[in-house]
Amino acid sequence: MDEQRWITDTVEKIREKISWVSEKNKDKIPYTTDENGNYDDRSDSTKDWNADDGLNWWTNGFWGGILWLLYQDTGNERYIDMARKCEKKLEQTFSDFYGLHHDVGFMFLPAAVADYRITGNEEAKKAALHAANLLAGRFNPQGNYIRAWNDLPDQDTRGWAIIDCMFNISLLYWASKETGDPRYRHIAMRHADSVMTHFIRKDGSVVHIGEFDPETGAFVKSHGGQGYGEGSAWTRGQGWALYGFVNSYTNSGKEEYLDTAKRVAHYCIANIPESGIIPVDFRQPEKPALEDSCGACVIAGGLIELAGYVPENEKQVYLRPAVKILKAITDTRTDWSRHCDAIVQNCTGAYHDSRHHFTMVYADYFYIEAIYKLNGTGIRIW
């Protein structure tokens, strides 16, 4: 099958799957599926609003993001109604406040910002600007980093920053352009500069958690985080860095960000297995053979985005491995049946977690987004 036919066929499968999945789950904000393949609901009002598995759960913007992707593709306005229902639920987190965290970018970019960019909805704009102010408030000028996580009972996280925030800072770039206030952009770029200095190794592999002294700003050490261990290369973190630095380049024009994205990309490309199936960590042992299809989709999306900013004769350097990953996912790690609400299978949150190879709503988001990018569908959300 030629590549365009494969893309077209996959788009049709996405349309069919999300059509019934969205109707079935229109009153939910899902994260993962249970043993029967049914989505859970992180907006369940019977749960504690401040619990980390409730409305504040960091992936809660991606279900709305999927709905906005489908609206752009199909023009079906029922997706608008469903997406906005999610947005209104998420706005409850502002008044509850205590459970909010560094991932407000992930929560409000694919939901409220997408709504505003696509429809001009002023209420969505207001919510997104509120989230941007909360994110900016986590910036520590001593060390120039955005603090990750809130207080933990057994860990001092005041000086912690994580590679994931290379995505969250897109909310600050958007707010800066929308308001004309450069402060948001300055915070985003200072954070990106710190990440570039302390998180990106010479070979293009990436640190997950970096710890600063919150009083002096001195860099203290790195932590293995969700990867195999200190000094390893957690694959989803590679994706956050690759795609995130492309986003910072497109939002700022700073060439060093594009160069950094390329360095991370080439490390990823050099380590993609022949099968195209991405491990949890590029430096993990061969056994157990743990996978992360979510990290795979983030890397693929970043490679496709990067290909848009290089000369024509270099584009295939990044597009070929992206397509290889996505075809491997499509052929072997997707469920198009009605037995499971999620599409992408075999995702892993962290190498040392007790649970592996389950579904994650944001894996579906990044898979659908990447396929739509190949198909030329939709606007940039990040």
Q: What are phi and psi of 223, to 5 degrees?
A: -125, 150
Q: Does the pLDDT of residue 224 top 70, yes or no?
A: yes
* Separation CA 94–CA 326 (nearest Å): 36
What pLDDT shows up at residue 44?
73
* Residue 2: C-alpha distances to residues 5, 6, 327 (Å): 5, 6, 12
pLDDT of residue 295: 98
Alpha-carbon distance 133 to 129, whole Å? 6
Judge whether 167 and 244 are in contact, CB under 8 Å. Answer: yes
CA distance 368 to 11: 8
CA trace torsion 337, 338, 339, 341 (10° rounding): 100
To the nearest whole percent, how much of the chain has pLDDT over 90? 93
Whole-number Cα distances in Å, 136 to 122, 190, 260, 373: 21, 12, 23, 30
Looking up tokens 């053979």 gives 289
The pLDDT score that the predictor gives to residue 45 is: 57
Contacts with 264 (C-beta within 8 Å, 6 or more apart), sequence order? 200, 204, 206, 238, 241, 242, 245
| Span 135-164, average pLDDT | 95
Q: Is the pLDDT of residue 50 over 60?
A: no
Q: Could you write out the DSSP letters of every residue in 232-299?
A: --BHHHHHHHHHHHHHHHHHH--HHHHHHHHHHHHHHHHH--TT-PPBSBTTS-SSS--B-HHHHHHH
The pLDDT of 202-207, averaged and rounded, is 98
What whole-number distance in Å separates Cα of residue 43 and Cα of residue 22? 15
pLDDT per position as a tens digit, 313-323: 999 999 999 99
Altogether, the residues listed in the chain come to a count of: 382
What is the average pLDDT score of the chain? 96
CB 332 within 8 A of CB 277: yes
Which has the minimum average pLDDT: 8-12, 28-32, 283-287, 375-379? 375-379
Among 73, 76, 146, CA closest to 106: 146
For range 211-229, the mean pLDDT: 97
Residue 46, pLDDT score: 58
pLDDT for 94 equals 95
Which of the four pLDDT bands, split at 50, 70 and 90, describes residue 153? confident
* Category of 276 on φ-ψ map: left (φ > 0), alpha (ψ -120 to 50) or beta: left
Give residue-wise pLDDT tens across range 97-118.
988 999 999 999 999 999 999 9
Residue 374's nearest CA partner among 299, 333, 323, 321 is 323
Residues 341-365 have pLDDT tens digits of 999 999 999 999 999 999 999 999 9
Dihedral sign (CA 200, 203, 207, 211): negative
Residue-range domain boundaries for the chain: 3-375
Q: In this structure, which amino acid lies at residue 27?
A: D
Query: Which CATH fold topology does 3-375 show?
Result: Glycosyltransferase (1.50.10)
pLDDT band at 60 (very low <50, low <70, confident <90, very high): very high
